[in-house]
Each structure stands twice: as C-alpha cells, then as structure tokens.
Amino acid sequence: MYNSLKKVVENELQGIHEAGLWKEHRTLQGRQGTTVVADGKELINFCANNYLGLSGKQELVDMACQALGEYGYGTSSVRFICGTQSIHTQLEEKLAEWMGFEDSITFTSCWNANEAVFAALLTDEDAILTDQLNHASIIDGIRLCKAERYIFNHMDMADLEAKLQEAQGKRLRCIVTDGVFSMDGDVAPLKKICDLADKYDAYVVVDDSHATGFMGETGRGSIESEGVLDRVDIVTTTFGKALGGAIGGAIIGPKEVIELLHQRARTTLFTNSLPPVVAATTIKVLEYIDEHPELREKLWENTNYFREKMVAIGYNVPESVHPIVPVIIGEGSAASSMARDMLDEGIYVIGFSYPVVPIESARIRVQISAEHSIDQIDLLITAFEKLGKKYEII
Ligand SMILES: Cc1ncc(COP(=O)(O)O)c(C=O)c1O
C-alpha cells in the first residue's frame, strides 16, 4: 500500500527542510542569456555554465534548425541497433581530432560518460585513485566498478603518492580527477598527477567539463592550460556547459579504449544515442570556437576584472584563474539570505553552504561568461558592495 511509502517520503521531505537543504527551482522564461526572466523578474544571470555565451546564441539556433531539417528529431534507438547516424560518427571523429586524441564516443551526458568509463575498463584486480572532491558523477561511476577505491585528499600529491604505493600490487592503477573543481574553480595539478602516473605505472582520466572549450591557448581545456595535452590518457567532458549548453558528453582517448567502450559501456548499450541535432550542432560549435578566439579573450578579461575588483573591495575570493568565482561569505544562512537579496538587486546568483562546501566557508558562487558586458559586471560588484556592508562582510 502506498500509505507506508507516503509516510517515509513525507518524513524525508521534512528532514530536508529542517536541515536547510531545500533546493528551490526558479522557472526561467525564454532563452538562456546574460539576462533571464526568472519567475517574471528580469535578472542578470551569473549562475550558468554558459562560459562562452553560446547557449542562446542565434547562430547556434540557426545551425540547430538546419540540423533538425536534415536529421530529424530523435534516434528512437540505442547505438548498436539503429541509433548510430552518420552525424554521431562525424562528431566523434571531429571531437577526437579537435582534442588531439585517437577517438571518442558520445553519450547523452557527461554523467553517463563517467558512469561508463570505470566499470567498462576496470575489474576487481585493479585500483582507482580518486580526488576527495571529484564530481558526483565520478563518485557514482566508481561505485559501479569493482576496482578497489583509494580516495586521496583534495589535490594532495603526497597523499596520492602514498596511495599509489599501496596500490602497486594491483593489475592496473587509474587516477581520476576533475580538471577544474566546480565549487572553488580550482585547477587540478595535472602535471604532478601525470608525473606520479609515470612513476607508478598508472593511467590518468580527467573530467574536463568545466574547462573544455575555453581553458588553454586554443580552448582544449585544463589539460592544455596545464601543459599535459599529450600526457593525459582519457578525457571525459560535457557539451552541456561551454560547448553550447544543451546536453551530451563524451569520452575521448586511445582507439582501443573507445572500441571497448562501444562494446561494454552500459550507458551507451542500453540507452538512446545523443539527439542528432545536438551532435550536428556540437560539430559546428567546435568549429565556431576555433574561429572565435576573441570569446576566450573576453571571458578571461571579464573574469580577471571581476576577481580583481572583488578583492579590492575587501571580499575573500580564493585565488584561482577560473570564471567560477566563489565569494566566501562564511556562515551558511548569511550566504543564502544574501543570495536572495541579490535577486532584489536584479542579480541571479546562488548561495552554497554545508554540506556542499565546508561549514565555515559558505559562499555565493559567481560564474562569469564571455557574453557579460563590463556594465553588467559592474552592477554585480555594486550589489556585492551594498550587501557586503549590510551583512558586515566587508
Ligand atoms: C565536473 C563535472 N562532471 C560531469 C558533470 C555532468 O555533466 P552533464 O550535465 O553532461 O551530465 C558536471 C555537471 O555539473 C560536472 O560539473
């Protein structure tokens, strides 16, 4: 009878409320851009992963409309039955070539890519070494594989080395890290990780979801900005952030690995392939990124401007280079109440508090886009200045 489940669910819901962890969903009207209309109010949007400002761009919409005409709407199937269209293969070849790897395989999300990449390649004879703060999709992906799990302290290379030594008896050692961590915008020490991988015969997987398309000289991600494009073995990434922001993800790597993933990855074997419109548009996005280096330049200019101004007015902004900018508020309820007040100032940002981030460093996370104008960023800074004084933070 549903009555028993109803009671359990109601208790759970009450618990989430009481713990202050309730997540509100704001409803946006219209297109995703630097401004959005949320619950009827126009706000400047500083909480999307729309790093290059492509999500609502008319050129992309036009490309997608053309692709819809050519390939239709859905695939109605998984890859190995009748869900592989020429456009999927073209995207996989293009993405691999664009990143400088042998091959790639696409999924309907990076979540699905991360669920596939460990279970398909590792067995109980193997070891997986994972940063403590890796994304939830990596954590869940690891749960699905039988390899022994070693969690190393966040970006702590001495701890990683100790764990690699412990894992020397295993058949394979896989080190996995986010390229950029989404709560702090901090960049993994990929050079040191690759050095340790060489020393202890491990292979390296980087989830570059928060970097593909804009970090590094040509936008190939943190593996480019950290100088390890030719040293990392496997990259997972999303099309849902800088690369147009719709949906989709990929695993990029050596051809044998990709071949085995086509055979073994459950999140491609038993679920529909990427909508062809997304596959076709993502190819265009990769070309667009190469043709428009000024988008990356503008993103870094905007990011540096905001970071410098916030430090100058007295905020604690942990040092990094990334357009994810955590503005540390301190106490959890202050962060959420200040984020709510920001809405009255016409600014859309989100507060994060414990247990998502450490208890003493609740923050408002700002995400900068290439599309933001300096005037919009100035409005954001003015709002922070006003509310920082009100909450006695600056
Ligand atoms: C580091 C990282 N990996 C994977 C994902 C999941 O990406 P997708 O939305 O394509 O499933 C995210 C999304 O937030 C992410 O931040």
Per-residue model confidence as pLDDT tens digits over 260-298: 999 999 999 999 999 999 999 999 999 999 999 999 999
DSSP letter at 25 equals: -
363: enclosing H helix or E strand: strand 362-367
* Whole-number average pLDDT of the chain: 96
Residue 208 CA to ligand 1 centre (angstroms): 9
Number of H helices, E strands in the chain: 14, 14
Residue 366 pLDDT class (50, 70, 90 cuts): very high
- Which of 142, 183, 238, 278 for mutating ligand 1's site (highest number of atoms within 8 Å of CB)? 238
Q: Report if residue 68 sits inside a domain.
A: yes
Check pLDDT > 80 for residue 46.
Answer: yes
What pLDDT was estimated at residue 297?
98
Is residue 23 scored above 90 in pLDDT?
Answer: no
Sort 19 into a burial class: Cβ within 10 Å, 0-12 / 13-18 / 19+.
Answer: exposed
What residues form DSSP beta bridges with 176? 130, 205
Q: Cα–Cα distance between 216 and 283 in angstroms, integer?
A: 20
Q: Among 291, 314, 329, which residue terminates a domain? A: 291
Averaged pLDDT for residues 186-213:
98
Three-state DSSP class for 350? strand
Domain match, 35 and 128 both: no
Nearby residues of 340 by Cβ (< 8 Å), 6 or more positions away: 351
Last residue of a domain, one of 266, 291, 316: 291
Instruction: Encode pLDDT of 76-126 as tens digits.
Output: 999 999 999 999 999 999 999 999 999 999 999 999 999 999 999 999 999
Same domain assignment for residues 38 and 75: no
Helix axes 110-117, 136-143, angle to 10 degrees: 30
Find the 210 Cα to ligand 1 centroid distance in Å: 8
Q: What is the pLDDT of residues 209-236, one digit of tens each?
A: 999 999 999 999 999 999 999 999 999 9
Residues classed as catalytic? 182, 210, 241
Residue 249 Cα: closest atom of ligand 1? 10
Domain termination site, one of 269, 291, 313 = 291
Q: Do residue 316 and residue 305 come from a single domain? A: yes
- pLDDT band of 26, cuts 50, 70, 90: confident
**pLDDT score recorded for residue 19:** 80
> Does some domain include residue 142?
yes
Residue 17 amino acid letter: H
The answer to whether position 2 is within a domain reads no
The answer, yes or no, to whether any atom of ligand 1 lies below 6 A from the CB of 240, is yes
End-to-end alpha carbon distance in the chain: 55
Rg (CA), the chain: 22
Q: Is residue 9 in a domain?
A: no
Check whether residue 298 and residue 253 sit in a common domain: no
310 to 23, 52, 174, 333, 343: CA distances (angstroms): 27, 22, 39, 21, 19
CA-nearest residue for atom 7, ligand 1, is 110
CA-nearest of 181, 172, 122, 130 to 151 is 130
Give residue 386's pLDDT: 97
Question: What CATH number has the domain bearing residue 33?
Answer: 3.90.1150.10
User: Which whole number is the average pLDDT over 43-55?
Assistant: 97
For residue 21, name the pLDDT band (cuts at 50, 70, 90). confident
Nearest to 345 by CA among 49, 44, 81, 70: 44
Q: Specify whether 279 is located in the same domain as 348.
A: no
Using 50, 70 and 90 to split pLDDT, how confident is the model at 332?
A: confident
Q: Are residues 158 and 257 in the same domain?
A: yes
Q: What percent of the chain has pLDDT over 90?
A: 91
**Is residue 209 in contact with ligand 1, taking CB distance under 6 Å?**
yes
State whether 236 and 312 are in the same domain.
no
Give the count of beta carbons closer than 10 Å to the beta carbon of residue 76: 11
User: Could you tell me the residue range of the domain that residue 365 belongs to?
Assistant: 21-50+293-390
Task: Please check whether residues 101 and 217 belong to one and the same domain.
Answer: yes
